[in-house]
Amino acid sequence: MNWQDYKGVIHVHSRYSDGSGSLSRIIGAANKAGLDYCIITDHHTLRHKEEGAEGWHNGTLTLVGEEISPPTNHYLALGIEKVIDSEDGTPQNYVNEVNRQGGLGFILHPASKGKRSLGLKERPWTAWEVKNFTGLELWSYMYDWLEPVNLLTLPYYVLRPEKAISGPDKESLRKWDELTQERRVVAIGSVDAHARRVIPLGIFEVFPYEQVFLTIRTHILTSPFNFNLAEDRRLLYSALRQGHSYISYDYLAPADGFKFETEEAIMGDEVEFSPHLTLTASSPQTAHLKLIFNGQVIKETEGTSIQLKPQAPGVYRLEAYLKGKPWVFTNPIYVRGG
């Protein structure tokens, strides 16, 4: 298949919830960042969708979902047509409702620790008993940035945010690897963009969209878009649902064209174990490449490619690092049978 690599940002807030930006401001930032797609997910509303915002805007496909936001157990609902109220039931209820609407859903900031010194509450995911969710937010730019920040270091990390970025939370990675032993669970990266204005100055923004859209992207692999909203929306959500995607920190370097595949499958797919099976990863940049099997590193090298003949069925994924910094995390290839 002629797979195309499209990069975009997921989890963006506008002035319709707790962000500061208008639709035109967000789209302008996405265009400037060269994004192929942008998914706006305000709290408790699909207002942008209701107002006809979904569509192609100067080369960026803009879609609208919802962040379902009870005090804990936040859930990102994509591809839905009606707002889902978390107050109507348990996490399993709103997971079920997303599925009933034909959407797909991702557990948000699964290991949120909060920051009392900054007035930020913990908002972790605690309902791990739920079934039938699509996946989880593995790497959140804003939650990663928050990890080392306190009142003393805040000014430094606002001015030099890249110094705070250390990669996906280790507990989230561990949990994801655990879940993928049971079934396919898709990982996405997100920005959680708000572009909040600082009081009392009012005009000063912390993490403007233009800045954040250059950081954590989720690249999808799909057949080519044809600039038809209904069809391209279907292609994008289908790629996310299947895990035909990878997460990259494109602030370090563009990851466009990164591959992790077999002769017949790409990341997110299931394949039958065979002595002839070969896993191959290729990178557009020289990087430190790590092949992960059932959560453990089994092979690593410095270069632009790495190969492995699996010795057993299991879950295989790839991590890449540039100059010691986390750069790419692929969805797994699931090797079954044998």
Query: 59 and 205, same structural domain?
Result: yes
Distances (CA, A) of 31 to 5, 41, 275: 17, 18, 46
Residue 118, pLDDT score:
62
**pLDDT given at position 71:** 86
Is the pLDDT score of 276 beyond 60? yes
Residue 80: CATH number of its domain: 3.20.20.140
What is 132-178 written as a DSSP string?
---EEEEEEHHHHHHTT--TTTHHHHHH-GGGG---S-HHHHHHHHH
Where does a domain end: 215, 249, 283? 249
> Whole-model pTM?
0.95
At 228, the amino acid letter reads N
pLDDT at 200 over 90: no
Among 249, 277, 308, where does a domain finish?
A: 249
Same domain for 271 and 242, yes or no, is: no
What is the mean predicted confidence (pLDDT) over 304-310?
97
Tell me: do 154 and 216 sit in the same domain.
yes
- The predicted-structure confidence for 103-152, as pLDDT tens digits, reads as follows 999 999 998 766 555 656 667 899 999 999 999 999 999 999 988 888 88
Q: Are residues 271 and 169 in the same domain?
A: no
Residue 315 in any domain: the answer is yes
Please tell me the predicted confidence (pLDDT) of residue 243: 98
Residue 64 confidence (pLDDT) above 80:
yes
**Cβ distance 125 to 110 under 8 Å?**
yes
pLDDT of 163 higher than 80: yes
What is the chain's mean pLDDT, rounded?
A: 93
293 and 171 within one domain: no
Question: Is 196 a residue whose pLDDT tops 90?
Answer: no
64 in a structural domain: yes
> Does residue 254 form part of some domain?
no
Tokens 């990087």 correspond to what residue?
287
Same domain, 96 and 122: yes
Judgement on whether residues 65 and 182 belong to the same structural domain of the protein: yes
Same domain, 187 and 118: yes
Instruction: Give the CATH number, domain containing residue 293.
Output: 2.60.40.10
Domain total of the chain: 2
Do 25 and 125 have their domain in common? yes
pLDDT of residue 198: 63
Task: Report yes or no on 157 lying in a domain.
Answer: yes
Q: Give the mean model confidence (pLDDT) for residues 274-294.
A: 97
What is residue 290's predicted lDDT score, i.e. its pLDDT?
98
Q: What pLDDT was estimated at residue 206?
A: 83
Question: Partners of 62 in the beta sheet?
Answer: 38, 55
Q: Are residues 73 and 126 in the same domain?
A: yes
Q: Which residues pair with 300 in a beta bridge?
A: 290
The reply to whether 137 and 38 lie within a common domain is yes
| Beta pairing partners, 140 | 190
Last residue of one domain, picked from the residues 202, 221, 249 = 249
Domain assignment present for residue 221? The answer is: yes
One domain for residues 273 and 231: no
Domain that holds residue 302: 259-336
**Backbone angle region of 83, left / alpha / beta, with phi > 0 → left and psi within -120 to 50 → alpha:** beta
- From 149-163, 230-244, 297-311, 324-338, the region with the lowest mean pLDDT: 149-163
